[in-house]
Amino acid sequence: MRKIIFLILFVLLIISAFIALRFGSVGIEWREFWHSFTHPSEQGTAHSIIWLTRFPRVLAAVLVGAGLAAAGCALQGLLRNPLAEPYTLGISGGAALGAAVVTVFMPIHLGAWTTPVSAFFGAMVSVTLVYLIAGRRRFSVTGLILAGVILSFIFSSAVLLILTLASPLETNSILFWLIGSLSGDKVSIIKAIPFFIIPGIAILYLFGRDLDAIALGDEKAFHLGVEAIRVRQILFVVTSMVAGACIAAAGMVGFVGLIIPHAMRMMIGPGHKPLIIASSLAGAAFLVLADTVARTVLSRHGQELPVGVVTGIIGGMFFIILLLKQREKMSF
Amino acid sequence: MKSIFFLLMIAGSLCGCGSDSPPAVTAGRSLTDSTGTAFSLEPLPSRIISFAPYITQNIYLLGAGDKLVGVTKFCKLPAGEKKQVIGDLLTQDIERIIQLKPELVLATKEGNKPEVVNQLKGLGIRVFVLSEANSWKDIRSGFMQMAELLGKTADAQKILEQLEVRLSAVREKNALAGSPSKVFFQLSEQFHTAAKDTFADEVITQAGAVNIAHNAVGRWPMLSAEEVIAQDPDLIIIPLMGNITEQAKAGWEKFPLLKAVKSNKIVIADADLCCLPTPENFVGLTELISEILHK
């Protein structure tokens, strides 16, 4: 049964990627489309659009979607909290502050790397602080969540402070980034984020059984031979790296890390090993589709939506339907 | 961690210098943009995309509107003209741009994201990045740069000469007036305004007046109502921004003792005239302010 679900999700991902390559703001005829598929090295308008513009973006969506969903899934188990998501432990606030500071005060020019590097740097500063604070409380669940939430508040307020000082254009640029978007040059960033996201997901998968044990409570986990504190330490760092890379690539794309793991849990049950594979596949497919909607829905008016808006609205409604269908209590 | 931060600082300081001053217009057959990229002036581009409303206005002013194939959502076109919309200032539809096969994209250093510029360059598209222009001198040289790229230098010179004549008429009028009047340029209900190094500030100065926010911190500061009242400006200009504009005007009318209210000098002006740094708008807005103040 599980294998069939994995297969379905995988096929879904392939179809989503195909749709994303096929459709965009500019219509391309089937003939041209196939031609640039069968002759991927031939230059031309269709080639530029499909291989140099859409393809890097689809790859980025696959990686970010998979990373966010897997990280969210692991954190929900790790913190025994259905509201946990990749941004719960203070990553988002730090990343936002990093991006905002660089946008407004330090005009460093690293080309396509400027915002990703500053966001990642900010996220890592914030994560380090959360780690140090939570460490004083022996990495208890409450310690981690409280440290994460409070630091997020502090950093978010600092971002608001910067927004009030920034010029209208800078403000727009930061706000657009905060909503989460896959627009812009993704050619460089997709050469870097796989090194964080793919091994990250693999490690989360390997810790699947430990997560199952921790979901029962620290004490029960201990009797099953799992050191909850140690696991939390390691997985906190791993999920932070994954989420940090996702944020660097796409800003704050909400909801993927929250709803995809829940939806998958409803479908295949609470075991973390299969759950992480299923979440990664479903997260990737979902974000690829959501980004296709974001790119095309208003393109006739010359407007692109931030993908975060689409994931929030579509994802939210989809999730409510799932909740209404699922009668019994959700299990972890 | 520390070393990464240090590297970032060094990278910042290295890249930050040298690119601020607008490059001199070269007499040869090539032109360098604000990112240091050299452009040959031949052949003249026949398919141009504009990334900013003021660039679009300048292109029409230079009589090269027929070469324009793509504009932003906010660009105003002359009646009857229709161009492909390629996005707003921050997000551009890259696919659409590729499809339009532009021979030249005109972008701005401050208004457009460097990532987008780099992405287009990576796709083999020529992007000329104009540096920001606010003062009359910089607006003139930016305009001349565009004229060179479009092969319209003679037209541009003629336009600028006529505008100079209009500006000196304003200056003569200023010389006759007494102490300079105070102007508040209101950009939002929260009293956002333009301080020094902005288009509005330069225009107010040219019109022989003083911008009350000239010395405020930052370029787009938010003043308090108290400060505006204490400064008691002779003129309040509000660019037209929909509903907010009338509300802002009505808000001031609660203070009948303010000079601007007493003499009915709260002026709602066209937003493009107030905010798009073209030579024509610079002179137009200067004349408008000077006229109201010397009425």
Please judge whether A176 and B116 are an interchain contact, meaning their C-beta atoms are less than 8 angstroms apart.
no
Say whether B119 and A187 touch across the interface (CB within 8 A). yes
Predicted pLDDT at A28: 85
**Chain B residue at shortest CA distance from A185:** B119
Residue B241, phi then psi, degrees to nearest 5: -135, 40
Predicted pLDDT of residue A248: 87
Mean pLDDT of all residues in B109-131 = 87
pLDDT at B26: 44
Q: What value does the mean pLDDT take over residues A198-208?
A: 96
DSSP A72-103: HHHHHHHTT-TT--TTTTSHHHHHHHHHHHHH
Q: Which residues of B154-165 are buried (b: 16+ CB within 10 A; e: fewer)?
A: eebeebbeebee
Examine the pLDDT at A73 and tell me if it is beyond 90.
yes
Closest CB to A107 among B12, B86, B118: B12
> Is residue B7, in this structure, part of any structural domain at all?
no
Structural domain includes residue B4: no
Q: Do residues B140 and B131 lie in contact, with contact meaning Cβ atoms separated by under 8 Å?
A: no
- pLDDT (0 to 100) of residue A109: 66
Residues B123 and B197 in one domain: no
**Residue B87 phi, psi (nearest 5):** 135, -170
A21, A185, A187: best mutation site toward chain B, by most B Cβ within 10 Å? Answer: A185
Residue B270 located in a structural domain: yes
If one compares A106 and A279, the residue with the highest pLDDT of the two is A279
- Each residue of B36-69: pLDDT tens digit? 888 888 888 999 999 999 999 999 999 999 999 9
Partner-chain contact A302 B122, CB within 8 Å: no
What per-residue confidence (pLDDT) applies to B14?
A: 33
What the block records as the tokens of B182 is 């105070």
Domain end: B116, B151, B186, which one? B151
Whether residue B181 is found in the same domain as residue B137? no
pLDDT at B157 over 60: yes
A271 touches chain B (CB under 8 A): no
Q: What is the pLDDT of residue B10?
A: 34
* Per-residue pLDDT at B20: 39
B217 vs A275: which has the higher pLDDT: A275
Q: Does B171 touch chain A (CB under 8 A)?
A: no
pLDDT > 90 in chain B, percent:
45
In this structure, which amino acid lies at residue A289? L
Determine, yes or no, domain membership for B157: no
CA separation, residue B262 to residues A192, A304, B10, B215, B235 (Å):
63, 46, 55, 26, 10
pLDDT of residue A140: 86
Confidence at residue B112, expressed as pLDDT on a 0 to 100 scale = 83
In the predicted model, what is the mean pLDDT of residues A17-32? 88
8 Å CB contact between A60 and A186: yes
Picking from A76-90, A101-115, A131-145, A245-259, which range would have the lowest pLDDT averaged per residue?
Answer: A101-115
In B208-278 the beta strands, taken as DSSP E runs, fall at: 210-211, 235-239, 266-269
Assess whether B211 and B266 both reside in one domain.
yes
What confidence score (pLDDT) does residue B126 get?
93
**d(Cα B191, Cα B186) in Å, to the nearest integer?**
6
Q: How far separated are the first and last CA of chain A, in Å rounded?
A: 20
In the block, tokens 């161009």 appear at: B83
Asked if residue B14 is part of any domain, the answer here is no
Instruction: Let me know whether B220 and B118 are in one domain.
Output: no
Shortest alpha-carbon distance between residue A229 and chain B (Å): 25
ipTM for the whole complex: 0.70
Which residue reads 């040059």 in tokens?
A185
Number of DSSP helices (H) and strands (E) in chain A, helices first:
16, 0
Pairwise CB contact (< 8 Å): A26 & B95: yes
Q: With contact defined as beta carbons under 8 Å apart, do A117 and A244 qualify?
A: no
Residue-averaged pLDDT of chain A: 87
User: Angle, to 10 degrees, between the axis of helix A256-268 and the axis of helix A55-78?
Assistant: 70
Displacement of CA A248 from its chain's centroid (Å): 10
Predicted confidence (pLDDT) at residue B144 exceeds the cutoff of 90: yes
More confident residue, A126 or A328: A126
Sign for the pseudo-dihedral over CA of B173, B177, B180, B181: negative
Task: Answer with the residue of higher pLDDT: A65 or B228.
Answer: A65
Q: How far is B87 from chain A (nearest CA, A)?
A: 5
The pLDDT of residue B174: 85
Task: Answer yes or no: are the C-beta atoms of B127 and B48 closer than 8 Å.
Answer: no
State whether residue B129 is helix, strand or coil. strand
Q: Can you name the residues that pair with B39 across neighbouring β-strands?
A: B31
Please report the pLDDT score of residue B25 as a whole number: 46
Average pLDDT of span A71-85: 90
Q: Do A108 and B16 touch (CB under 8 A)?
A: yes
Rounded to 5°, the CA angle A270-A273-A276 comes to: 85
pLDDT for position B2: 36
- What percent of chain A is predicted at pLDDT more than 90? 35
The domain covering A2-325 belongs, at the CATH homologous superfamily level, to ABC transporter involved in vitamin B12 uptake, BtuC (1.10.3470.10)
The total domain count for chain B is 2
Q: Residue A31: is it exposed, middle or buried by C-beta count within 10 angstroms (0-12/13-18/19+)?
A: exposed
Instruction: Grade residue B141 by pLDDT with cuts at 50, 70 and 90.
Output: very high
Q: How confident is the model at residue B11 (pLDDT cuts 50, 70, 90)?
A: very low
The answer to whether A26 contacts chain B (CB < 8 Å) is yes
Q: Which of B82-91, B117-126, B143-152, B237-246 has the highest mean pLDDT?
A: B143-152
Pick from B114, B89, B37: nearest CA to A116: B114
Integer CA distances (angstroms), B185 to A67, B146, B201, B229, in order = 48, 29, 8, 13
Contact criterion met (CB below 8 Å) for B198 and B134: yes
What pLDDT digit, counting tens, does each position of B74-105 carry?
A: 888 988 889 999 988 778 889 899 999 999 99
For the residues B196-211, what does the mean pLDDT come to?
A: 93
Question: Which residues are CB-contacts of A64 (< 8 A; sequence separation ≥ 6)?
Answer: A182, A193, A197, A246, A249, A250, A253, A256, A287
Looking at chain B, which residue has its C-alpha nearest residue A47?
A: B98
Cβ density class B112-144: b for 16+ within 10 Å, e for less: bbbbbbbbbbebebbbbbbbbbbbbebbbbbbb
Contact A263, A252 (CB under 8 A): no
* Domain match, B188 and B285 both: yes
pLDDT at B4: 39
| Beta-sheet pairing, B68-71 with B48-50 | parallel
Partner A contacted by B164 (CB < 8 A): no
Angstrom distance (rounded) from CA B131 to CA B138: 9
Please determine, for residue B142, whether its predicted confidence score (pLDDT) is greater than 90.
yes
Place of tokens 């490690």: A203
Residue B106: what pLDDT? 95
Mean pLDDT, rounded, of chain B: 84
Q: Is residue B60 part of a domain?
A: yes
Which of B119, B151, B183 lies at the terminal end of a domain, its last residue? B151
Bridge partners of residue B106, in order along the sequence: B50, B128
Residue B214 maps to a domain: yes
Note whether B125 and B212 are same-domain residues: no
Residue B191 CA, distance from chain mean position: 20
Read off the CATH number of the domain in which B236 is found. 3.40.50.1980
CB contact under 8 A, B98 and A26: yes
Please give the residue range of the domain that contains residue B50. Answer: 20-151
Collapsing DSSP states into helix, strand and coil, what is residue A332? coil
Residue A87 is predicted with a pLDDT of 86
In this structure, what token pair is assigned to residue B239?
């660019």
Contact of A214 with A60, CB cutoff 8 Å: no
Residue B239 lies in a domain: yes
What residues of chain B, 43 to 72, have a C-beta less than 8 Å from chain A? 72
In chain B, positions 117-156, which contact chain A (CB-CB < 8 Å)? 118-119, 122-124
pLDDT in tens, A95-153: 889 888 887 776 666 666 777 888 888 988 998 999 899 888 888 888 889 999 999 99
A45: closest CA of chain B, how far (Å): 6
> What values do phi and psi take at B253, rounded to 5?
-70, -10
